[in-house]
């Protein structure tokens, strides 16, 4: 598959104006984030009225340079504080990596029909990235791939030590708005200026660890449910607005994310044929920006998410109505300021850069919400993407819940399971969706 794309140019795009040269301290939540790049893809249908200017490389490059004025850390490098050895952002202004490419193999519709998040698609549509460790590690890679039909895929890789999903959405939204109105934007006049004060998430002088935080510790895994490896099968499944509405009616008070994840959890337990007494854990990532006291600034740019989880037996998840799993999911996603501050203090006492990151037991799921973010409608001046999602899944048991582009109220799932479990999951999940329409 890699042979079906030709990379034409690779260059560094530097900020369009002079930017601060400083080092930015990273919080414990930044250091505890998955060490590596998060690759995402945006699919755009060609503008038949103006095919000659559609995703013009110069326009995309120039708007990126302007966006990097406000978001100047992304033009820097991952570095290390000489005195403490702590990883930080060195704002060097060296630039983001920008690649242009073409594929004479695919049309947009062909690629959409074939696309699932996997290593092969990531290699095709997102620039290759170096080892994600300091020193001198770039933080942003972008690739514009023009397809046979004239459509375009924008592939991005942002370093997770620097951004979480909401920060990534903030940057892409700003970049897109500059591209739409290039004469009105200087790069500094952003609707929501980014805040790089990560000391807002510093540990307290006297640490108070009030909770256990098992999500940041090595998982004791029974041999019968060995930790999943990199081998997985992935799928993208869309739930219609009416299916989502019906599902939420069975999960009283649950958000769309919790209701959808509850159904996925139930169906995954069935598809995996796990014994009723096996423990199954639903891991989640919770954005704490608005939950802290006081809340973080709306433009806080960094990692402000924490890992949480809910534990149940397979029998409890499978035998009860889906509302039970939704209530368990609610218990995993309701933490507030005291929990987040306890976690930051806990991470102060461990090696946050080397936490366990080897995957999860095949009895578990890790669910991430991209709901309520602007990732799915990033319009660079030629219309919103017809699809946006992750370019790969890191291991089996990952679930992303996203708004479906162009389908008001619909939800798209990107998920991965063990290859032997996916066919049965597709079957039972389709049966449950059919019941929602009754």
**What are the tens digits of pLDDT across the range 285-308?**
999 999 999 999 999 999 999 999
Residues 6 or more apart whose Cβ sits within 8 Å of residue 259:
244, 247, 248, 250, 251, 322, 326
pLDDT band at 357 (very low <50, low <70, confident <90, very high): low
**What are the tens digits of pLDDT across the range 217-237?**
876 654 445 554 568 999 999
379 belongs to the catalytic site: yes
In 272-348, alpha helices (H): 314-319, 322-331, 337-348
| Top-confidence residue, 229 or 252 | 252
pLDDT band at 333 (very low <50, low <70, confident <90, very high): confident
Q: What's the rounded mean pLDDT across residues 267-277?
A: 96
What pLDDT, on a 0 to 100 scale, did the predictor assign at position 172? 95
Q: Taking the model in full, what pTM does it have?
A: 0.94
Q: Ranked by mean pLDDT, which of 6-10, 254-258, 327-331, 361-365 comes out on top? A: 6-10
Q: Show the CA angle centred on residue 97, arms to residues 134 and 402, nearest 5°.
A: 90
What pLDDT, on a 0 to 100 scale, did the predictor assign at position 223? 42
The helix (run of H) or strand (run of E) holding residue 270 is: helix 256-271
What pLDDT, on a 0 to 100 scale, did the predictor assign at position 352? 79
**What are the tens digits of pLDDT across the range 36-75?**
999 999 999 997 767 778 999 999 999 999 999 999 999 9
pLDDT band at 14 (very low <50, low <70, confident <90, very high): very high
Third-level CATH fold of 216-436: Chloramphenicol Acetyltransferase (3.30.559)
**What are the tens digits of pLDDT across the range 142-195?**
999 999 999 999 999 999 999 999 999 999 999 999 999 877 666 666 778 999
Q: Ranked by mean pLDDT, which of 14-18, 213-217, 372-376, 409-413 comes out on top? A: 14-18
Residue 9 has pLDDT above 90, yes or no: yes
* Of the listed ranges 117-131, 154-168, 205-219, the one predicted with least confidence: 205-219
Provide the percentage of residues in the chain whose pLDDT is more than 90. Answer: 77
- Select which of 160, 170, 198, 376 is catalytic: 160
- Select which of 62, 109, 123, 379 is catalytic: 379
Is domain 2-201 in CATH 3.40.50.700, yes or no? no
What pLDDT, on a 0 to 100 scale, did the predictor assign at position 3? 52
Give the tokens for residue 117: 């998040």
Provide the percentage of residues in the chain whose pLDDT is more than 70. Answer: 94
Query: CA of 7: how far to CAs of 98, 140, 146, 149, 157, in Å?
Result: 11, 17, 10, 17, 16
105 belongs to the catalytic site: no
Cα separation, 32 vs 30, in Å, equals 5
Question: Which DSSP string do the residues of 205-254 spell out, in sequence order?
Answer: SS----S--GGGS-----GGGPBP-S--EEEEEEE-HHHHHHHHHTSTT-
Handedness of CA 271, 272, 277, 281 (dihedral sign): negative
Mean of the per-residue pLDDT values of the chain: 91
Question: Does 2-201 match 216-436 in CATH topology?
Answer: yes
What pLDDT, on a 0 to 100 scale, did the predictor assign at position 184? 66
What pLDDT, on a 0 to 100 scale, did the predictor assign at position 2? 45
Q: Where are the domains of the chain?
A: 2-201, 216-436
């Amino acid at each position: 598959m890699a042979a079906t794309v030709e990379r034409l140019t690779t260059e560094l795009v530097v900020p369009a104006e002079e930017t601060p040269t400083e080092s930015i301290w990273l919080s414990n939540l930044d250091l505890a984030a998955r060490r590596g790049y998060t690759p995402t893809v945006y699919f755009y249908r060609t503008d038949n009225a103006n095919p000659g200017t559609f995703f013009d490389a110069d326009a995309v490059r120039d708007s990126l340079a302007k966006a990097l004025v406000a978001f100047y850390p992304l033009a820097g490098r991952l570095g290390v504080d000489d005195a403490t050895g702590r990883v930080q952002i060195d704002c060097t202004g060296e630039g983001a990596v920008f690649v242009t490419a073409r594929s004479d193999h695919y049309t947009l519709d062909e690629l959409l029909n074939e696309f699932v998040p996997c290593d092969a698609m990531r290699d095709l549509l997102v620039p290759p990235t170096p080892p994600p460790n300091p020193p001198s590690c770039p933080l942003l890679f972008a690739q514009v791939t023009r397809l046979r039909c004239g459509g375009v895929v924008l592939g991005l890789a942002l370093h997770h030590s620097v951004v979480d999903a909401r920060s990534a959405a903030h940057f892409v939204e700003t970049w897109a708005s500059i591209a739409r109105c290039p004469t009105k934007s200087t790069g500094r006049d952003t609707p929501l200026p980014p805040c790089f004060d990560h000391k807002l998430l510093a540990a307290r002088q006297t640490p108070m660890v009030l909770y256990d935080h098992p999500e940041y510790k090595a998982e004791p895994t029974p041999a019968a449910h060995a930790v999943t490896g990199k081998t997985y099968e992935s799928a993208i499944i869309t739930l219609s607005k009416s299916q989502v509405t019906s599902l939420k009616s069975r999960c009283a008070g649950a958000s769309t994310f919790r209701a959808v994840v509850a159904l996925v959890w139930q169906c995954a337990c069935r598809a995996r044929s796990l014994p009723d007494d096996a423990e199954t854990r639903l891991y989640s990532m919770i954005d704490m920006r608005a939950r802290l006291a006081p809340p973080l600034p709306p433009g806080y740019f960094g990692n402000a998410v924490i890992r949480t989880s809910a534990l149940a037996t397979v029998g409890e998840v499978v035998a009860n109505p889906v509302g039970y799993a939704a209530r368990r999911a609610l218990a995993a996603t309701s933490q507030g300021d005291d929990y987040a501050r306890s976690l930051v203090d806990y991470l102060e006492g461990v090696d946050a850069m080397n936490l366990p990151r080897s995957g999860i037991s095949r009895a578990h799921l890790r669910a991430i919400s991209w709901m309520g973010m602007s990732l799915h409608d990033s319009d660079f001046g030629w219309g919103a993407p017809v699809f946006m999602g992750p370019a790969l899944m890191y291991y089996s048991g990952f679930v992303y819940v996203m708004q479906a582009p162009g389908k008001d109220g619909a939800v798209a799932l990107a998920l991965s399971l063990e290859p032997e479990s996916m066919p049965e999951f597709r079957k039972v999940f389709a049966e449950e969706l059919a019941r929602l329409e009754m």
